[in-house]
Structure 1
């Protein structure tokens, strides 16, 4: 039996079955990270990331989405509700809606992860708008318009 290949899986807002080939389905470059669309529909959005050494996503909140990170290769330092944790390859990070979280690649090696959020909300639309954007203030502003609230930087 031959598997059906599909990268973007939406049919009437419902997840459509199939196989998403590696790194197919759309690619975004956002502040040093590479993201690949793995699946998208109303109920969920899954994306793969390549996070080079030294890259990070600062603490932020998704007020209406639960988010997960499956660490495929490497490791991340994850901040959950103000507490730092190390997530190694094979770990699953669970970030409930409304809980501040961020992640940091503090190693000398790239990290590869599979993220997914539920419901999808406007996150894919946000990635479309942030692609190749370099102004961090603009990233924060546009993110807020898409239900992602970055927290103020800590005082020095």
Structure 2
């Protein structure tokens, strides 16, 4: 059996909005079908509500918990929970707990979110250490979001 070549992004970690995002599978490895990342979110951090043009996105919570905003409602997602986000549905997440939370995020098709994470995030050498907290570079974040088909919405 031939093993696929690994993308140069696999294993790379970026920090974005209080979340460490580590690439596990990229569009280059999945023939564009999907992207898979591991996300570790610091306490009190997360993503603002947004809508994207991906076909779908899903979260599988591994540790801790998230408050997930989905289509106007907020629900608790804890370890072992799966959240499916269809195309065009407003969503976001926040770690309400006192310790980091961890989940897998899959995006279909692959590529759009990879581009966003790489353009809007800052590379880190250690996927287990959060850099010092600082406000995001909003012009950079919004420009990267626009290029990836992500529309940021006002906070819920």
TM-score interval w.r.t. the shorter chain?
0.7 to 0.9
Confirm whether residue 35 of structure 1 aligns to residue 21 of structure 2.
yes
Q: Which consecutive residues of structure 1, in runs of 5 or more, have no partner in the other structure?
A: 11-23
Offset at 1:123?
A: 1.4
Residue aligning to 2:7: 8
Residue aligning to 1:65: 55
Offset at 1:134?
A: 2.9
Residue aligning to 1:13: none
Distance 1:65 1:5 in 2: 24
Residue aligning to 1:135: 137
For residue 86 of structure 2, the aligned residue among 91, 96, 110 is 96
Confirm whether residue 125 of structure 1 aligns to residue 115 of structure 2.
yes
Q: 1:119 to 1:9 in 2, by over 3 A?
A: farther
Distance 2:113 2:35 in 1: 8
Offset at 1:65?
A: 2.5
Distance 2:80 2:5 in 1: 25
Q: How many residues align?
A: 138
Residue aligning to 1:44: 34
Q: Which consecutive residues of structure 2, in runs of 5 or more, have no partner in the other structure?
A: 123-134
What is the RMSD of the two structures over their aligned residues, measured on CA atoms? 2.3
For residue 98 of structure 2, the aligned residue among 91, 108, 113 is 108
Asked if the contact 2:70/2:89 (under 8 Å) is kept, the reply is yes
Higher relative contact order (CA 8 A, sep 6+): 2
- The 3-state SS of whatever aligns with 1:79 is strand
Greater Rg over alpha carbons, structure: 1
The alignment's TM-score, normalised by the length of structure 1, stands at 0.80
